Structure formats: C-alpha cells, structure tokens
Structure 1
C-alpha cells in the first residue's frame, strides 16, 4: 500500500505545487505586471475553476479508456500551459495560462482517487487516501520555501520553469512505476446515455451530494486561505517571502497530520461520527477566531494558532467524506470522482471570488470567509448524516 500511496501522492502533489510554490511570488507578480491585488488573485481563481470543470472530462474518460491515458494527456497540457505562464507578458495572459494549467492538472485529482477506489473500499481506502495526502503534504511545507528560493535567485517566472520540470518528472514516474488498475472488462463505454444515467444517479443521491459539498465547503476554506494568505502575511503582518513560506507551512501541517488519523479513527469510531465531530470542531475554531479578529486581537500568532486547529479538524473531514461519497459508486468511480471534484472546486472558486469583494489586505475578511465555509460545512454534514441514519435499515 505504501508504494502505491507514494506514487499517487507524488503525482497528486504536482497540482498543489502549482498553487503553493508561486504563492510567495504573488506580490512580485502584481508589481512586475502592474496588476491590482484582485487581478492577481484571479490567477488563483482561474486555476481552481478550470481545475474543477475539467474533471468532468477526465472522470468519464478514465472509466472508458483506463486510468493512464488521461494522465498522460492531462500532464502534457499542464506542462505546455506552465511554459505559457513562465512567458506571460501581461496579467491577462497569465490568468489564461493558469486556467489552462488547471485544466491539465485536474487529471491529477480525478484519476488517483479513482485508482484508490479501484484498489480498496471502506477503511482501507481511507488509509490509502490518507497516505496519499501525507505525501501531498510536502507541497504546503516545501513548495512555498522552494518558491521563495526561486525568487531569491531569479524572479517569479523561474517558479513556473521549475514546475515544468516537476511535470516532466511526473510523466516519467507514471510511465515507469504506475500500473493500469482498471481492467478492460470493467471499463464503461462513454456515450451520452451512460453519462446521463450515471450523472443522474449521482445527482439524485443525496448522500453523495451532501458528503461532496461537506468536503467542498471545507476545501473552500483552504482555497480562501491560499488566495489571501500571501497578502495578509506579507502585506499586513510584514513577513518576508521565506517567513510567509514558514507560516504557511505551519498552518498546513495541522491538516496533514490530522489526515493520517482519519483511517484509524474511522475504524474505531465509524466514519459518520468522525465527520460529525470534526465539522463541529472546525466550525467552533473558525468562528472563535473570527470573533477574536472582530474584537481587534487578530495578531499573527493568534491567526496561525486558530487556523492550525481549524485545519486539523479539516484534515479529518476531507478524506473521510471523499471515501464515503465514492464507496457506493464503484462502477462509475471515475465519473463520481470528477463530478465530486468539480462541485468542490467550483464551490471553492465562488467563495474566493466572494472573499475578493470584501478583501482589504487584513486578516479579518480572510478568517471571516473561512468561518463562513466552516459553518456551511457543518450544516451540510449534520443534515446529510441525519438523513443517512434515517435511511439505514432498522435491525429487528
């Protein structure tokens, strides 16, 4: 299991690296291209929205053609778009190439999750998902530091040239070490009828939608943090690019440390109970931090500590909701993964855009948006789990 997790994790980390590695460069990008903060934040939103929508293509394709062909195509698009980002002459071109980059990188969200569903279900799938996230955790811990190093020896464009190298290494790793996990007899022919039937099945499954949106609102909070953190930590709190990278890593560590407990906790207490307690903790920490901020006490240590605790709860929510949503839909795992990922990314992109309307460079709008995401995740989770409990057959 560890070898598979390592391969899937390294592949999956390429997409997050495309976000985390260039975060320290956001203020420099704005200065170099003469762009406002809202325009620079749009490079984040464009990536995530395209990342979400493109999953609708990769999922059904992976169900029909197997898992590896879409991976080759998506990584090829990612590498080509990253070259465009590195050479972008204006903020408009950078936004466009970031969207194309997200469209390519989306395959690294859909297919690894489908591969996990090919190999395992239940707690074993949660353990593998958590192991994959452990490997992905190198992104928020190392990618911003790597980006800061690139800025120190070159400029923000060097960050994207480095991402080209990472994409190429991903292609090599996949071709040499990742086997095909979907046998030909198990593949589903993609046609409009099958696609509509599978989509209808998923949309009419309230448990799938509820669990997906629970994880989606949780992930939205992380997207808000990603889009705003460099301006808050560097502009408002005055951290250097390296200081921002370290602060960002601390806030992300809580998420990935907790994600490793999702599988064991699910086995011991049940996935539903883990989700219920985690969303309540997530909302409690996020709302408390927002109230502290409104009272005027949102110092850097307070913000970092509050987000660390909130993200630790989030680390239990996301892998568990992913597995619970996919478990009943193994025959259309690719479509379920893509539709779920699209709903989550579009939700996150909308939250980032809403936050941008109120963002003033300080911490309070950022943590307020995170608190809103947490409350939405809690409301959705409690409703969904209650509905699922009522639907379970009663034992005589």
Structure 2
C-alpha cells in the first residue's frame, strides 16, 4: 500500500509540476522580458494574469470531460495544447503576443491541476487522500526550489526565450509518463455519460454547498496570496533589494520551503486534531504572520530578512491550509469529483488572477504593496474560516 501510494505520488507529482514550472521557471526572466519587449511592469505581470485566467477557465472543461472519458485522454489533449502555447511564447515578437501565448499555455496547463486531483479522489478519501495530496506537494516542491535557479541558468547561458523551449521538454516528458506509467483510475462502468442537465445540476449542487464554496475560497485566497507574490517578487527582490536573478531564486526558494515542509504535516495533524481545526488554526497563523510583516514594512523595518522571514512563516501556515481544504472540499462529492475539482480550481484561479489585477495598479516596485496584498488575503482566509468552519471545528475538539 505504501509503495503504491509512493508511486502514485511520484507520477502525479511530476505531472502536476508542469503547471508550477510554467510560472516558476520564468520568474527570474520577468525584468529581462519587460526590457526586451519594451513592456511596463504591469504589462509584464499580465503574462501571469493571462495564464491564471486561462488556467482557471479551462478547468471547467477538463473536469467533466475526465468524468466522461476517463483521466488519461484529457491529459494527452491538455499537454499538447500546453506545448503549442510554449512554442508561441518562445517566438513572441511583442508583449501582446507573449500574453496570448501564455493564455494558450494556461488553457493546456489546467489539465494537470484538475485531473490529478480527480485521480486522488478515485483512489482515496479522508486523511489518506490528504496524505497523498501532501506527498504530491512534496514532489511539486522541486518547482519553486529549483525552477527559478534553473531559469536563472538558462537566462545566463541562452536567454529568456529558451525557457519556453525547456517547458516544451517538460510537457513532452509528462506525455510519456501519462502514456507509459499512469494507469487509468476511472473504470468504464463508473464514467458519467455527458448530460447537460446532469452537469448543470451538479454545478448547482456544488455552488449551493456552503462548505464546498467556503473551503474552495479559503484555499483560493490562500493561493491568491502566493500568486501576488509570484507576480511581484522578482521586481521587488531584484529592484528594491538589489538581488541578482540567482539571489532572487534562492530567496524565492526559501519562501517556498516553509509551505512545502509544513504541507507534509497536514495529514498527521488532521488525524490528531481534525481537519477543520487544523484549517482554523492555520488560517489564523497565516493572517497573524502576514499582518505582522505588513506592520514592520509599513513603519520602515521592511528589510530583506524581515520580508523573506515573515513570508516564510506565513507560508508555513499556508502549507497546512491548501492540501487540507482541497481534500475536504471533494470528500462529499466523489460521484462528481472531476466537476468538483474543476469548478473549485476555476474559482481559485480566478480569485488569484483578480487579486493580481486589482493590486497591479498599486505596485511601485517596493515591498509594501506586495506585502499588503498578501496580508489582505490572510485576513480573508481567516474570516472565511471563522464563518464556514466554526461549527465543524467545535465538533472535532
């Protein structure tokens, strides 16, 4: 059993890395991309926003489709679209063309967010699913820790366009894994025939489920805080703090370590204290750490160690929130796991894209707007947690 779970975690984790790699690998190149294409910071950040919006919307297709035809065919299709988008980005002559290429890339990359979640629900529920999700996140953790460093190396040797060639290679490897190492986890007899009425009823059921929506947005605003960090950190760390692309990559990796290390504790803490209580306490910790960081930056103590250290502690709390809420949101909807996964993922990605778009006009190259937006997300997560999980947390004590 343990060996089978480890194998599943490795394969699903490697597949799931493609989406984060499409962001993390090119983060160090964002200032160079803006300079090369004559784009402003806001225009360069739109390459991330476009990716997230497409990433979110496309999930609405992949989830129901995977419920109907199985998990593997959508993976083949989505990864092929991702490769096409990466090639468009590599050849983009203008920032507008790059934004369009990123949008196409997001349309394909969404498949590796939806389908692995549905596969987890095919295989496990409850704490076992949380444990598998956390193990997958351990595999995914290679992306924020190593991808920016790899991107810095590619920039130094070749240039930013070659980053997208590397993403093509990663997607080709994922196609091979899907074809030769990933079994089909949804038997034919369990597949849902396409029925628009059933799809609409399933969506209405999910959207009217207070717990599903609440858990989705608790995780969604937590993820949105990280999206804001992704869109701003390269400019803050290299501009305001004067780090090189390699220095930025190391600082970025340190911030990510807190998240992925704590995510490995989520299942064990859920078994001991109950998942609702873990989420309630972790969101409180996330909001507290980010608000303290904001206060220090606002009064003039926003040095690099303060910002990096504060975000490390906040992300350590967030690492308990994301995998736990993902699993809790799907637990009661196993019969429509693909739809639930896709709808939840869409809502989360749109929240993240909206947060980047809303905070972009306030970005001035310093740490304050970035940290303020992250702290705002922290306040939203703890508020939602108090509203949605109070009764469940009390029952688990």
Corresponding residue number in structure 2 for 1:52: 56
Correspondent of 2:215 among 194, 211, 217: 211
> Matches of 1:259 and 1:104 in 2, distance apart?
26
Residue 11 (structure 1) aligns with:
15
In structure 2, the partner of 1:67 is 71
C-alpha deviation, 1:376, in angstroms = 0.3
Shift of 1:346: 0.2
Equivalent residue number for residue 37 of structure 2: 33
Give the TM-score taking structure 2 as reference length. 0.98
Match of 1:107 in 2: 111
Residue 313 (1) aligns with residue 317 (2) = yes
Give the Å deviation of 1:191: 2.0
CA distance in 2, matches of 1:387, 1:112: 30
CA contact (8 A) 1:207 1:388 kept: no
In structure 2, distance between residues paired with 1:194 and 1:66: 17
- 2:326 corresponds in structure 1 to 322
Superposed counterparts of 1:197-236, under 5 Å: 197-236=201-240
Tell me the residue number matched to 1:281.
285
1:257 to partner: Cα distance: 0.2
Q: 1:192 aligns with which of 159, 183, 196?
A: 196
Aligned equivalent of 1:238: 242
TM-score (norm 1): 0.98
Deviation at 1:132, TM superposition (A): 0.4
Distance 2:60 2:69 in 1: 15
Q: Which residue of structure 2 lines up, in the alignment, with residue 359 of structure 1?
A: 363
Which runs of 5 or more structure 2 residues have no equivalent in the other structure? Answer: none
**Is there any run of 5+ residues in structure 1 with no aligned partner, and where?**
none
Describe the superposition over 1:284-308 as per-residue Cα deviations: whole angstroms up to 9, x where unpaired.
0001100111101010000000000
Distance 1:77 1:387 in 2: 43
Instruction: Output one character per residue of 1:235-287: Cα deviation in whole Å (capped at 9) or x when no partner.
Output: 11010000000000000000000000001110111101100100000000001
State yes or no: 1:386 paired with 2:395: no
Counterpart of 1:268 in structure 2 is 272
Tell me what 1:341 maps to. Answer: 345
SS, match of residue 17 in structure 2: helix
- In structure 1, the residue matched to 2:335 is 331
C-alpha distance after superposition, 1:135-183 (max 9, x if no partner): 0000000000000000000110010001110110110111110000001
SS at match of 1:188: coil
Distance across 2 between alignment mates of 1:190 and 1:236: 52
After TM superposition, where is structure 1 displaced by more than 4 Å over at least 4 residues in a row?
387-390
CA RMSD for the aligned pairs?
1.1
CA distance in 2, matches of 1:283, 1:130: 22
Shift of 1:355: 1.1
